Structure 1
Amino acid sequence: MRRDTRRGIALAATAVLAAGTVAVPPAQARERAPEEELTTTTRLADRRSVVVGDRFYAMSTADGLYPASGWHVTGEMGGFWTPPLKLLDGVWFGVDGAWLGKQTRAESHTAGYGYTRTRYAASGGVRVERTDVVPDGLRAGLIGLTFRADEKRTVRLDVDAHSELMTAYPWGGTTPNQSAHNLPDTGAYEDGALVFRERGRPQVPNASEHDFAALVAADRRPASHRLGSGHRGPQEPPVVCPATGTTPDRCDDSEFGKGTGGRLTYDVRVPAGRDVTVWVAIAGSDRGDGEARAALRSALRDPAGLLARKKAARRAVAANTVVDLPGDRLLQRSVEWSKQNLADSAQEARDLRVRVTREGRQYPAPKGGVPVARWLGAGWPDYPWLFGTDGEYTAFASVAAGQFTDIKAHLRALRDTSEIANDRSGKVVHEVISDGSVYFGADDDAGNTDETAKFPSAVALVWRWTGDRRFLDDLYDFSVRNMRYVTGKLDEDGDGWPEGLGNVERTGMGVEKLDNTVYTIRGLRDLADMARAKNDTATARWADERAARMEKAFDRTWWKGGDTRQYADSVDDPDDPADDNTRLFQRHWIGVTPMDAQLVRPGQVTRPLAEDERAHTALAKREEPCYTGDNGLYHTGTGPTSAEGGNKGPSCDSAVSAVQSERVVYSLGNGIMAVAEGNYGRLAQQRRYTAANARIQLDPNLWEMPGAMPEIAASPDFSPANIDRKLTDRSMVLQAWGAYGTLWPVVRQQLGVDPDMGRARLEVVPQIPPGQSRVSGRSIRLGSGSVDVTAESRGGTLRTVVNAARLDGVALRLGHVLPSGAEVASVTLDGRPVAPTVRRTARGDEVVVDAGARRGTSTLVITLR
């Protein structure tokens, strides 16, 4: 799914809960307080743990140790980072000579809203609890060690730190690579702190002179200190991962590393029966030690206060989009934690130098700079930077969660870097590392076409939910050029279908991809909608007419038909010059995109691209075992194939594919399938996929870090699962895009919230999943206000209650999706009979009523015959 992850990932299914086996509490149950902590006690040494602030993050294992992790630079993606710079491999703590996590066993690890906590077994009469937190806005992280003893005593605390001042790019396999770019670190002790520096200029063309600094200190003076090349606590002497070739099962450093170490020793007086906390701060900068020292002072001035403020900020995140799903508490909990996952994903860096690396093959001089970039990091630890595709899917979750600021910033950062890298062509870059290096997505690269086409849709989405006219004005010109580029530069044969790479980066596909086509159509429709708001009638007419022509020809070109009952993955075989858009069928997940993409057409009800009958047929087929396993939708389904190895699973059709199946479940694929099911009112089927993403985030049998939705679920061709793999060969422990599959189905589809705040309009048309009687949500942010929604279905009566007291001057239309075959006996609005409109939509028949621009609570009651 991602440009630089084609590393032969494959994993076998593990024992999981059967799809759909979700405990359902009584329907009378009401909203419960959020679960602000999740704790695990098993396999702590094998679980990764990440704690994130917008300018700093750290990754360890759940026992508080720092084995070598990640693969972009083998073994170097964990530890402590302040983008775009790595600071340390790790920090280790010894208590009276026993290292925490090694000689003193970790008993439990807790993920909280904005922090983590590790409890250790009692040792020598002392018990230690560790709290990790990263304050936002600060290039520093904090670790608090809380000591408790039954008897008064003085504890010796050793703090080991091993530096690795290293930029996020180059990587291990690029030209140049990190071996050439990384310089040796130096260590010193100054004013109670360990001070690590890397200064100089790598012997690499176009590299710059730099001054990197990392500092480690506590909130008290040390009794002594030591310096040396080691100091990795219990991971000394280190097992070193080679730069290439087979890595050991577990490493402590890599051949890329050129760090050094030091130790600070403290005498901690612990009164009998009272807690004492020692706070240790790690701070750094890529702009010299002055900024690093300032960050260190800020972190240590009031560590407990910074922790309290972080918790308060995350409770504020939790206070938006508070849903109550009595019939699906698992999904409700997933919504709660998905909001935190999104907040965890915010990143910011300064002074990005935009250079086009051609997939790591070159290291030219920068083309320009971006003073400040803020974005939603795609995944940890190997993808914490800026992506087009990821952010455009994550945008749907972000607006549903009310997290407007970061997704606006993400889209602006994409625009800013794309304009420099691609000379204002309109093409959106694919991947930008936190130093500004563009790995893929320059004008001369083959793709990704889809993210250029998706960009206007993301802008339109954010504008509809926020009503932010300045945001629309700022990104409108770039959005126009996006679609002019796709239609003018990427359709060489003039058949209307764009060429280039899309989401599926696999061999054997045709020149023109299904997802590129689908998102181009949607992008044109969304551009036209924005153009009408801008009174740009020429652009609106052009985009609508172009989309209409594509829509008219879509089914006859792309429907594969036969017993596949699917759309083709691509057309135009590159190996056949005479190919006339012959359909190529390979069973990739992108076959769901015609059901995923909603089209806004003037004067029509918003609906997905695929026609209803074919959509229901295609979705039903995707639910069969050839496409869906225990944990959700496969990347590439099984069936007859001419590829090496033959068919590796059940067959659901007789078509012979030229590629091998890939039974790997991505959280994004589950999200797209869940949204597609909901677009057609298939909420019973949707639950299979929302539950799949919720389980890999919340089911202790499945997740690696509690509450964190991963990139890939345990699945037949992803074996072993992440927790059983080498730490240098895992997919992401936290991935932002999966939240698309939980937040959007609940807020947009089940609660039916459909804003057009740029035009001061709001529709709320809920649909309650079968077998349930009530769904509700409060504090759903829209524009500068919010809305509360409750939908009920009881005894032949449908009720929709909307509280718009915090919205001003917004025209409200409310309604309800009718159960299949239901007939309406009467409709009242606030107790008075009204004449409703019944409209046919992809979700089913909707009864809607105009309530006007009223404030306060509106109640629609539909009585069925």
Structure 2
Amino acid sequence: MKLRLMIGTMLIAGPFLSALTTPAGQIPLKNAPLERQTDKNLNMKRYVAAGNRAYVVGVQDGSQVPAVSLNPNGIGWHITGQMGGVWAHPIKLLNQFQFFLNGKLLPAATKFVSGEGYVRLELPRTSGLEISETQFAPDGLPVVLVGVQLSNSSPSVASFTLAIQAESELIPAYPWSGTKPTSESLHLPDQVSFDSPLGALQFFQPAQPTLSRLAWYALVSAALDPQDHQTGFQPLGASFPPNTSKHNGATGALSFQVNLNGKSSTTVWFAIAGSNVRKAEASRALLIGLAFPDQLLSAKIASRQEVLSQAQIRVPDADIQAAFDWGKLNLADMQRTVRDMRVRDTMEGTVYPPPLTPFFPVRSGFGAGYPDYPWFFGTDGAYSTFSLSAIGQWQEAKNHINTIREVSQLVNGPTGKVIHECVTDGSIYFGTNAQNGDVNETAEFATAVATLWRWSGDSSVRDDNYDFIIAGLKYITSHLVTKGLNPDGWPEGAGMVEATGMGATKLDVAVYTIRALNDLVEMADSKGDSAIRNWAAMTAGALTNNFRQDWWIPSLGLFADSLALSQVVPTDPPATLGTQPGYTQLQQLYWIDATPMETSFALTGDAAMSFPQLESSTFTGTTGFFQQGQSLPAIQGNLQASAVNTGVMAIAEANYGRMDESLRYVEFIADELDVEQPGALPELFDSPDYQYFSGGNPFGGAMVMQAWSSYGLHWPLEELYLGIKPDAPAKTLAVVPDLP
């Protein structure tokens, strides 16, 4: 099919780009409802409703999955069965909450709706009442608000008791179930009481000074005065069986009397607030949430409509249009602000040392995915920065870049190496100087900074990160190169592929390093730094000159996905060894085979040989680009289709003018928009080695919403199809469309 993008309907944020405007009334967004819904398999699908301080992850029919320790059928796997519920990072507040009408548990929802910053669960008619739940988390407050809307269609007054039962689980985002120590081993029993002045259930974990933890609080209340309260594990209704599983949470309940006139409706608002620093913060969030729920919901919707108003396009393909728009909302839902972040190097989960100093009172960025990756990543941030730059979420990208830089500097010192994974409490799982990866992240960080700088024109983005980028690129091109064994200087260590059997130097690391050095050349030029400009240009030039001879395999028509060295190197001890001096080319059909085209370093003729293979059933299935291709019997492959891999192929194809072929991969991503939560772009796609809702635990798989899934939508549509290429620092804009 042909994708006819209407160039005149493109609007990009930023004062110098204001020439690209949308005619008045052509794209009405304000107050126009944007919702997606489903009524299929709700009991097998997860959802998230998120703010930047709190969020809730649950099941779309409203049923509660037991979230006790080591429950293999619960939500998530980092902390087994515990990644759902209500979170105010860096701590979890509640496993679950449930509502009761006249002592009976409300029935399962029959329809689930995703909206602009909220979700709604629509329930069957119960006791003569029409019932729905609206859930959202206002940005800036560590609170989740739940509005239970009750409609009485009869002419008579309806009098009933409405109750909420809440089960706490005050645990931090780290440790996990498989680390040393484990999450379970450090969890003290929660304490529960009734706070009479607040009319709230109070769940409490005392401070643990030996672990550098302050006291933790979770508060649950409603906008009505409670008629009764209960604490302890005795449930409210006989229809709700007691929780006999062993865990350290606590349970409490609040009951409210409601009188609803005939032919009328009301919404009873509930709030779940928490804090990892002091009760006053949780109390403030609770009180504000319950005093102004409707205003906060309106503000949330308005903020999400503002997100939609940035970088508008109109395309005739409804699926791509929806994915483009909802991808913007997904990225807004990924924003995260945490307090009291204390950085410690866990050495891949083997130790839990005292935190480094200083600690960070407040840090912001964005998570990688819900429910198991809600914290900060180097590489996810880099891919997502392309989207954030293109859609105008510049401050959000800048916040993340700053957090990654500052945490990396604290744990890695002056090397400039970028960490891989920082949990919201500050625990570093991977990516320190002592570990052999992920080397690509140091290079990708430089490109993320350069990309945001070009689009936003914010010189502080360049300046704040400039010295750090220089240090990092010098580190990976010198310290991570073993003299005498690696003659052409390819950085050694792990890259994007997390698998054994590869050589010490990886294809994605190689091309991302060259790209990063070229980005540094541009930034150094803009600062008049000739010394760094010349060093970066010389280093990039040397690598570029050797790239084809080292990596291209003419007999296969593919680039090697890794190069094996002849001896064990300290930079990557587990790497596979080569059979000859210098480099031995290895080709194991990994998705990174597309990265030379993603970065435009492949010669046109080489790309023309590679693309038919990458498009074939070896690498590409009916839903997307595989993690690893299959060539039996030698290579079993990993036939999971992933959003980031598919996005890389969409961009690679477009870089070589193959717009129709590129569009195929964009369509793959768009087709997965509603696979689980309506309006959410997932991490993995239905494919031979990954199936949704087909046995096992439907709640323990890939992410229901993933940040980098937008990479293959926003970047190709704007930068490559429409050809929007800003140079904001120079106050210039090129628009050279090349449409499918």
Q: Indicate which of 168, 183, 193 corresponds to 1:188.
A: 193
Alpha-carbon distance, 1:274 to partner: 1.1
- Aligned residue type for 2:583: N
Q: Any residues of structure 2 matched to 1:289-304 within 5 Å, and which?
A: 289-304=279-294
What whole-Å deviation, never above 9, does each CA across 1:789-823 have from its counterpart, x for those lacking one? xxxxxxxxxxxxxxxxxxxxxxxxxxxxxxxxxxx
What is aligned with 2:13?
none
- Aligned residue type for 1:629: G
Contact 2:45 2:699 in 1 (8 A): no
Contact 1:31 1:325 in 2 (8 A): no
What whole-Å deviation, never above 9, does each CA across 1:10-44 have from its counterpart, x for those lacking one? xxxxxxxxxx8x99999999868677100101111
Q: Indicate which of 486, 491, 511 corresponds to 1:518.
A: 511
Q: Indicate which of 136, 139, 147 corresponds to 2:139.
A: 136
Distance 2:8 2:729 in 1: 37
The range that moved more, 89-98 or 132-141, is 89-98
The answer to whether 1:361 aligns with 2:350 is yes
What is aligned with 1:273?
263
The answer to whether 1:710 aligns with 2:682 is yes
What is aligned with 1:201?
208
What is aligned with 1:342?
331
Distance 1:28 1:513 in 2: 42
Classify the secondary structure of the residue corresponding to 1:621: helix
What is aligned with 1:173?
178
What is aligned with 1:593?
595
Structure 1 residues 282 and 166, CA, compared in 2 at 3 Å: closer, same or farther?
Answer: same
Distance 1:32 1:615 in 2: 42
Structure 1 residues 419 and 261, CA, compared in 2 at 3 Å: closer, same or farther?
Answer: same
The answer to whether 1:72 aligns with 2:78 is yes
Alpha-carbon distance, 1:578 to partner: 4.3
The answer to whether 1:223 aligns with 2:195 is no
- Aligned residue type for 1:500: G
Q: Indicate which of 426, 429, 454 corresponds to 1:436.
A: 426
What is aligned with 1:790?
none
Distance 2:538 2:234 in 1: 66
Alpha-carbon distance, 1:620 to partner: 2.0
Contact 1:352 1:435 in 2 (8 A): yes
Q: CA RMSD in A?
A: 2.1
Structure 1 residues 376 and 91, CA, compared in 2 at 3 Å: closer, same or farther?
Answer: same
What whole-Å deviation, never above 9, does each CA across 1:54-83 have from its counterpart, x for those lacking one? 000111101123313111011111000001
The answer to whether 1:583 aligns with 2:585 is yes
Count of residues in Structure 1 that have an aligned counterpart in Structure 2: 695
Distance 1:668 1:765 in 2: 25
What whole-Å deviation, never above 9, does each CA across 1:176-233 have from its counterpart, x for those lacking one? 111221110011011211001010428xxx5124311000000010111111125497
The range that moved more, 35-44 or 422-431, is 35-44
Classify the secondary structure of the residue corresponding to 2:627: strand
Distance 1:126 1:87 in 2: 30
What whole-Å deviation, never above 9, does each CA across 1:405-426 have from its counterpart, x for those lacking one? 1100100000000000101211
Distance 1:232 1:398 in 2: 46
Distance 1:535 1:448 in 2: 31
The answer to whether 1:89 aligns with 2:95 is yes
Distance 1:587 1:354 in 2: 37
Contact 1:377 1:383 in 2 (8 A): yes
Q: Indicate which of 470, 473, 476 corresponds to 2:460.
A: 470
Contact 1:71 1:728 in 2 (8 A): no
What is aligned with 1:106?
109
What whole-Å deviation, never above 9, does each CA across 1:288-308 have from its counterpart, x for those lacking one? 322211111111111011001
Contact 1:455 1:482 in 2 (8 A): no
What whole-Å deviation, never above 9, does each CA across 1:449-491 have from its counterpart, x for those lacking one? 0001111111000000011112211111111111011111111
What is aligned with 2:70?
none
TM-score by length of 1: 0.78
Q: Which runs of 5+ in 2 are unaligned?
A: 10-25, 66-73, 566-575
Structure 1 residues 410 and 209, CA, compared in 2 at 3 Å: closer, same or farther?
Answer: closer
What is aligned with 2:569?
none
Distance 1:577 1:454 in 2: 31
Q: Indicate which of 744, 747, 754 corresponds to 2:718.
A: 747
Classify the secondary structure of the residue corresponding to 2:415: coil
Alpha-carbon distance, 1:434 to partner: 0.1
The answer to whether 1:673 aligns with 2:649 is yes
Distance 1:747 1:281 in 2: 40
Distance 2:376 2:236 in 1: 32
Q: Percent identity?
A: 38
Classify the secondary structure of the residue corresponding to 2:702: coil
Distance 1:738 1:136 in 2: 23
Q: Indicate which of 675, 683, 688 corresponds to 2:664.
A: 688
What is aligned with 2:611?
619
Structure 1 residues 596 and 428, CA, compared in 2 at 3 Å: closer, same or farther?
Answer: same
- Aligned residue type for 2:697: K
Alpha-carbon distance, 1:724 to partner: 4.8
Structure 1 residues 722 and 440, CA, compared in 2 at 3 Å: closer, same or farther?
Answer: farther
Structure 1 residues 521 and 239, CA, compared in 2 at 3 Å: closer, same or farther?
Answer: farther
Contact 1:32 1:324 in 2 (8 A): no
Structure 1 residues 389 and 27, CA, compared in 2 at 3 Å: closer, same or farther?
Answer: closer
What whole-Å deviation, never above 9, does each CA across 1:494-535 have from its counterpart, x for those lacking one? 421110000001011001100000000001000111011111
What is aligned with 2:158?
153
Q: Indicate which of 502, 523, 529 corresponds to 2:522.
A: 529
Q: Indicate which of 707, 712, 716 corresponds to 1:736.
A: 707
Q: Indicate which of 524, 538, 544 corresponds to 1:545.
A: 538
Q: Indicate which of 600, 609, 634 corresponds to 2:626.
A: 634
Structure 1 residues 505 and 235, CA, compared in 2 at 3 Å: closer, same or farther?
Answer: farther
What whole-Å deviation, never above 9, does each CA across 1:726-783 have from its counterpart, x for those lacking one? 14521110000010011111111111110111121211111121xxxxxxxxxxxxxx
- Aligned residue type for 1:194: L
Q: Which runs of 5+ in 1 are unaligned?
A: 1-19, 241-254, 598-607, 643-658, 770-865
